[in-house]
Amino acid sequence: MTNGEQYSGTDLNTYDHSKPSKHRVVERVNSYAIFVPIGRAVTLEVVWRILENCWCDLISEGVYNNRVFRKHHSELCDEHGCWVHVVGRIFEVAGLVQFNKGDNAYYVLAGDKAKTHDIGVSG
């Protein structure tokens, strides 16, 4: 950590973890949402319904990307572009998907492993 700073919470940044950031790190979780600060002035409130919608589409389509997120939550993308990435990273950090940098999309882990993680959502 730089300057003795330490950040709690799960790091949702993508690549260079040698440069810690207090942004895109889970700030808190409650029964309603996961809170992730983006920049200095914005905190994304990722309500569980957003994760449920994206997860159902990920399972049915086999991919999670900008198109999948916009299907249900285009107004959020218009407000802030980090939504797609933050939700994808939540799935990735949970061990459910793998990110493919080549096409900027997340895929269910090989062997259909992610389908064994029941989050209580019915189609």
pLDDT digits (tens, 9 = 90+) for 47-89: 999 999 999 999 999 899 999 999 999 999 998 888 998 999 8
Other Cβ atoms less than 10 A from the Cβ of 19: the count is 9
| pLDDT tens string 4-49 | 334 456 666 655 556 656 667 788 888 899 998 887 888 999 999 9
